[in-house]
Chains A and B, each alone.
Chain A
């Protein structure tokens, strides 16, 4: 990460008057977002609710979220990085090439208006979704919007945060960081944590066939990943832990049905702003929890003869 300026969702509710959703469709994917956090709540400094806020929606097509927006800015696919980079320049009063801007599907004038709106805000926020973080540019698109938010703090209060997918992605990120130092894509082969997205991230490992066994918990790569990755999952021993029989389960060697977290299994979930919330199960399940299964697998592994990488700093590879 190059740095990030953010806040918890209550700050948005209480203060934000300029809200931008970029590459996401909260009306359908985060159905409570507008009503709980960003648009309709009467907050401490936003007593007039919706009237105290301006919302811009930026996307490649008009989704149901556009109905809630004050301004819908339609952009050409794959141009977000260009637009965000241009905005970084405009915010600083720097020159840009007008024809190149127009190629993004938005005019320079519109972007100037956008930049002015950002600077005039009392408290602005970018919420960005997979339409930004998973399209051409990937992590650089995320870096672009985070950097823009950081730079806007020279003029006013501005934050940015990613809209997270379903499940407990944020929680796994948080726990991985405190135990291994890194949020995802952690390699423990050499006996200590190493991090290199592109080398150790899941899709890359599967497509390159760099792994020869896979355990999947709380995800369904068989439904979402590129075909070469799915083919490799089918080729090697794959183990799935899930409340349902998933696409991945169907190509796996072993499937454990486990209790649904939050419904019949307890735990802690981390909200998109990294605030922990306790899950209290409402129902009982005949199935064991993910935790029980993993503990039993671990206990069985420990019974096997021990091998460990040599504890020697000389063997450490940066």
Chain B
């Protein structure tokens, strides 16, 4: 295991895209400390900002308020990153495998364009989680993102596959231009959920204010949710699916595209 302890909060954002299991697995202690870390426009070394213990491991721990440290876990394919504290933007961007666990909050773009692996945030997240970068056609292609707290704008924008589950409330445009995949909203969302989606499933356990281009289809007990629940329950994200309470209202949209996405809103009592 390699342990990084942040010495102090950087004055401007610090970019540390080399802090990934793939890079660190083969490096000795001196090489790790010499890895580049960019403070704004200046190139420094990791050791200027972190105390480092350990070497040659794909199990990483980062301690401290790293809310201004960007690109942790970028494009990783293996191993694990555990952040005891906060993490900055682009956490696990384009990752293909491995796991990232954060005890605190994360900023925007966590899991952007990810293709596999797991990200689990205990605190709150920013916006553009699992999303496509600007101009790109596709966001998250696979993998799982779990957020215990709230999240911001454009969660799951242009995602194609994979699962995002959030316990807290999210802001506008969750599932924007979604092409596939699953988003579970334990705490509901602000407005414009599923805007311009073509495919994919958004499941909300709170009522949603939907765009006029989403049409009510029916109220029923979707069987597929049992499969999703079986996957998410052991991860700490239960879904109400048994026959007593597992009724959902199904909406299809977005007819503006026109799309074949669905939004399932939990409706146990038929209100």
Binding site for B on A (CB under 8 A): 1, 81-82, 85-86, 88-89, 92, 94-98, 100-101, 103-104, 136-137, 140, 188-190, 195-199, 210-212, 307, 309-310, 315, 317-318
Contact = CB atoms under 8 A, between A and B. Distances in A.
A100 B211 CA distance: 7
A212 B13 CA distance: 10
A79 to B, nearest CB: 9
Contact of A100 (B36, B109, B133, B212): B212
B213 A195 contact: no
Given A196-B133, A196-B134, A212-B12, A89 B213 contact: yes
Interface stretch (B38-46, B52-60, B115-123, B240-248): B38-46
User: Ordered nearest first, which 3 A-B pairs have the shortest CB separation?
Assistant: A100-B212, A88-B256, A94-B255
Nearest to B127: A198
15 contacts: A88-B257, A89-B254, A96-B215, A97-B213, A97-B215, A100-B214, A101-B212, A136-B172, A140-B173, A140-B176, A196-B133, A198-B127, A211-B12, A309-B43, A317-B17
B210 A85 contact: no
B256 A85 contact: yes
B38 A140 contact: no
Contacts of A97: 210, 212-216
B258 A94 contact: yes
B44 to A, nearest CB: 12
A82 B128 CA distance: 21
B89 A199 contact: yes
B271 interface: no
Nearest to B192: A81
A96 B258 contact: no
Interface in B65-114: 68, 71, 89, 94, 108-109
B18 to A, nearest CB: 10
B266 interface: no
B148 interface: no
Contacts of A315: 36, 43
Nearest to B196: A85
Given A136-B172, A315-B36, A95 B255 contact: yes
Interface string B210-242: 111111100000000000000000000000000
Q: Is the interface of A mostly helix, strand, loop or mixed?
A: loop
A85 B38 contact: no
A85 B255 CA distance: 9
Given A82-B211, A85-B211, A94 B13 contact: no
Interface of B: 11-13, 15, 17, 36, 38, 40-43, 68, 71, 89, 94, 108-109, 127-128, 133-135, 172-173, 176, 192, 195-196, 210-216, 254-258
A317 B196 contact: no
B255 A89 contact: yes
B128 A198 contact: yes
Nearest to B41: A189
B12 A317 contact: no
B69 to A, nearest CB: 12
Contact of A189 (B40, B255, B256): B40
Contacts of B11: 212
B71 A317 contact: yes
A104 B254 CA distance: 17
Given A81-B211, A88-B257, A94-B256, 4 more contacts: A100-B211, A136-B172, A190-B15, A210-B12
B27 to A, nearest CB: 15
Contacts of B255: 89, 92, 94-96
A193 to B, nearest CB: 13
B194 to A, nearest CB: 11
Nearest to A188: B41
Contacts of B42: 307
A167 to B, nearest CB: 24
Contacts of A140: 173, 176, 192, 195
B210 A100 contact: yes
Contact of A86 (B36, B89, B128, B256): B256
A314 to B, nearest CB: 9
A195 B136 CA distance: 13
A85 B13 contact: no
Nearest to A185: B134
